[in-house]
Each structure stands twice: as C-alpha cells, then as structure tokens.
Amino acid sequence: MRPKCAHPAHDCPSAACETCEVRDTATCAVLAPDELEQLADIRTVVPYAKGQTILREGERADFLFNIRAGAAKLYKLLPDGRCQITGFLFAGDFLGLAHQDSYAYSAEALSTLELCRFPRDRFEAFAIRLPKLEHRLLTTAVDELAAAQEQMLLLGRKSAVERLGSFLVQLSRRAARRGQPDSPVEVPMTRAEIADYLGLTTETVSRVITRLKTSGVIRVLGQHRIAILDPRRLLAAAEGMAGEEGRP
C-alpha cells in the first residue's frame, strides 16, 4: 500500500502552518494559533509545475490561494492573443480575489509552486466571523491597488528605459522585503514575460537591458540574475531623471 500522493505537501510536517515560511508575512499572520488551525482544516496544499495554469480569467471563482513557495504571474488576454501581465506574485502573496464570482485574470506558475488552496465559500464563511481577517484582506487589496496605479503610470507615461528601471527597482525592493539580498536580484521570468508586464516587446526589453549593461548600471549574471551596480542611477532612470542626478 503506497501513499495516495507522492508529493510531500499533503498533510506532511513540511505543510504545517506553524513551520510555514510565510507564516508571519502572509495573510495568515493576523490569525491566532487556534484560528490558524481552523483555517488549516479547510485548506489543501497543492503543488504546481512551472508553466501550469492555476486559474483562468472568467472562470467561476471557486478557490482562493496563498503562495507558500515559488512565483506566479497574473495576466489578461485580448481575443487576438495580445497579453498583458498585471502582476507577479511571490511567497506569501494572496491570489484569487474575485470580481462578481469570476476571476478577473488568469494565473500561471512561473516556477515550481506550492499553494494553499481554500474553497471560496468556506473561506468566506470563515472570514465573516473574523473581522481582522477581512480587514487584512482590505489592506492587501488597497496595497495592490496602489501598485496597480503605479503600474498604470508606468504603462501610460514611461519610456522603455524608465520601465525597465522601475521594474528592476521593484524586483529588488520586493526581494529585500522577503529577506533576500537586494542586489544580485533573482529574475524568475523570461524576457517575453517582462515585456508582457511592461507593455513592450521581447526585443525592446533585450535592447534596453543591453544598454543598461553597457552603461554600467547593471550586470547580467546568467538569464535569471541581475546585479544592480549603481542603484542611484537605476532609480534616476526609473523616474525619468536620467542625467539629472548628482547636485545636492
């Protein structure tokens, strides 16, 4: 008799909330130990392979998710295939807030992923009894809203160099907030995904990276790692102040 599921995630010690890596940063951080235990009862830990689709835009929103480990992308498509990535999610991020019972976007695993999955009806029933959980979700939604508005500024008004600059600064800051180094920054997405996030093409992304590299602002360490050599100039480039830095 062998176990039903070969993956270590299902109800094995590593899946326990108490030892979860994102216990103190994810939404669950607001819950007391006993509440956490109740939440764990309605949860399933689900593994996803790189490239696998987690949810699809327009689909009935039956589940909510929390990322335990790995990275994911959220995106929307036009009928002819044009793609806009609306966000990247990392460990601790919440996923699946629905607009009128349907998901507003599709989501896909960028790397091997481990998710906590909650049936929406049961999660919502749980949340209604815990105002602090809803409050936390509100805070999260507002933060995402602020990020979305920043991204609108980027997509509507920034040049290609400014977009790449902003993107690298953002990656660096988020890594730091997750306790990782802020300089050789991990870039788990492909050039095409960066392009779809920044409203550019793969070619332009590649050209701009080359330019930043040549001008000594960054160093490219393999396809998925970038070292930020001159954070000051990178930040200046991000906000459209190229050549205006220096004078105090």
User: Nearest distance from residue 26's CB to its own copies, in Å?
Assistant: 17
Cα 93 to Cα 96: distance, rounded to the nearest angstrom: 10
Site for DNA in 76-115 (CB under 7 A): none
User: Nearest distance from residue 92's CB to its own copies, in Å?
Assistant: 18
Answer whether 102's CB lies under 8 Å from 58's CB.
yes
| Residue 149 is a binding residue for its own copies (CB under 8 A) | yes
Site for DNA in 151-180 (CB under 7 A): 159-161
Cα 213 to Cα 41: distance, rounded to the nearest angstrom: 49
| Residue 12 interacting partner from its own copies, DNA, none (CB closer than 5 to 8 Å by kind) | none
Q: Which of 152, 176, 221, 227 binds its own copies (CB under 8 A)?
A: 152
Measured between alpha carbons, how far apart are the two ends of the chain, in Å?
72
| Residue 157 is a binding residue for its own copies (CB under 8 A) | yes
- Phi, psi at 90, each rounded to 5°: -130, 180
The 42-81 site mask, x for binding its own copies (CB under 8 A), equals --------------------------------x-x-xxx-
Give the closest residue to 164 by CA, choosing from 203, 194, 193.
194
Q: Is 118 helix (H, G, I), strand (E, B) or coil?
A: strand
User: Nearest distance from residue 188's CB to DNA, in Å?
Assistant: 10
Which of left, alpha, beta for 102 (phi over 0: left; psi -120 to 50: alpha)? Answer: beta
| Residue 202 is a binding residue for DNA (CB under 7 A) | yes
Q: Is 243 helix (H, G, I), strand (E, B) or coil?
A: coil
Residues lying near DNA in the complex (CB under 7 A) are found at: 159-161, 190-192, 199-207, 209-210, 220, 222-224
